[in-house]
Each structure stands twice: as C-alpha cells, then as structure tokens.
Chains A and B, each alone.
Chain A
Amino acid sequence: AQTVTQSQPEMSVQEAETVTLSCTYDTSESDYYLFWYKQPPSRQMILVIRQEAYKQQNATENRFSVNFQKAAKSFSLKISDSQLGDAAMYFCAYRQGAQKLVFGQGTRLTINP
C-alpha cells in the first residue's frame, strides 16, 4: 500500500525567508501524481502545487516550488519569500490515476513577523 510520510510536525520561518517542507512516499508504481495541499484555519483544502511523476522538471507556482526526487521517493516543498498568509497546515499527498488521495500527517507552518 502507498504511504506518505511528513517527518516535520511543525516548522517556523521568518517572514520573507525561505522554508522547505519535507515529504517522502512509498509506492511500487511508476506513474502517479504528488501534491501539496494547504489547509488554513478555515480547514478548506487548497491545492498548492502538483507534480506528475513522469515529468523530470520540478513544478513551480509563483513562490512555491518542489524538489522531486523520484528515485529517492522524496517530494519537498519550498516556499520562498514567506508571507503571513502562508501560515497553515501543509499536507503532502499521493494519487495514482483516479484512485484515492493518500495524505501525509501534515506540517504546521508558522510565519514569524
């Protein structure tokens, strides 16, 4: 069964600095998708970024980028120029095709002004 592990329950960063959230996963499949979701206090699930496993190029979305290491099964999220609005729970997730999303345990990110 696929598993997703986030080893950092909490992280904090100074406003305007850069922070990296870690995620590892386990799968025997070669074709899948990886995601980072943001969950603010409202508890809405907001897609931050997604990566297709067949793409070697790391995905980027404005201040958010990933470091996807397929062989190492690692998928970290880098947030540049951190802003107060980035404070939230961040979940890493795995999906194969239209199957279920498998989530990690989450990392609570605090932004210090």
Chain B
Amino acid sequence: EPEVTQTPSHQVTQMGQEVILRCVPISNHLYFYWYRQILGQKVEFLVSFYNNEISEKSEIFDDQFSVERPDGSNFTLKIRSTKLEDSAMYFCASIRQENEKLFFGSGTQLSVL
C-alpha cells in the first residue's frame, strides 16, 4: 500500500526556535492536511491544502504556522517561533479525491524545551 512519509520522526527544539516538519504525500493525491495530537488528547485539525492554497484552517493555525508545497512533492509545516505548548505529535495526511481513503503519515513527535 502507498505511504505518506514524514520526517523527522522526532524533533527536539528550544522555545522560540523555528521548526519545519516535512511530509511527502502520496504522489497522485490532491488534498493535504496537517493534524496534531498533544499526548493523551484527541487528534486536532490544523490546516488543509488544495490546489496550492489553504482551503481551511483551525483556530490553532495562527500566524506562527505556515504550510508550503514547494516542489510538487513535499508538503511542509513551519512553526516560526515554537512555544512549549506546541509539543505534540504532528500528523500529515493526504487523499486523492473526496470519497477515497485518507492516508496518514506515521507522525513527527515535536518536543519544545
């Protein structure tokens, strides 16, 4: 089965630093998403991306967050100035079209110290 690939699997950073989380969605997929999950809590939607632009974002996705699909294969989430409360597992996901299965990556565990 095809896979969504996320790198790195673990990222440790200092508060205030910028981090970029990387995702390679499945090649023929058109819709892309970032979710996050704080340890012990539910999975929360951050942002969706379609046709090279953000289609929806949550209240969590403030000015500190941005997404890019720079080269047609990678899909990145940038946090400009990390806070302690950004510590979470970040999941990338993609789907080809709306009635099909959503594929999740295995996640990047971000720890902000």
Contacts and interface: CB of A to CB of B under 8 A. Distances in A.
Interface of A: 33, 42-45, 47, 50, 52, 91, 93, 95, 97-106
A93 B99 CA distance: 15
Contact of A91 (B42, B89, B98, B107): B42
A99 to B, nearest CB: 7
15 contacts: A33-B99, A43-B109, A44-B106, A45-B43, A45-B107, A50-B101, A91-B42, A98-B31, A98-B95, A98-B98, A100-B48, A102-B45, A103-B42, A105-B42, A106-B42
Contacts of B42: 91, 103-106
Contacts of B37: 43
A37 to B, nearest CB: 8
Contacts of B58: 100
Contacts of A95: 102
B91 interface: yes
A99 B56 contact: yes
B35 interface: yes
Contacts of A103: 42-44
Given A45-B43, A105-B42, A106-B42, A100 B33 contact: yes
Contacts of B99: 33, 52, 97
Contacts of B75: none
Given A44-B107, A101-B43, A101-B102, 19 more contacts: A43-B37, A43-B107, A44-B104, A44-B106, A45-B43, A45-B104, A47-B102, A91-B42, A91-B43, A97-B98, A98-B50, A99-B56, A100-B48, A100-B56, A101-B35, A101-B93, A103-B44, A105-B42, A106-B42
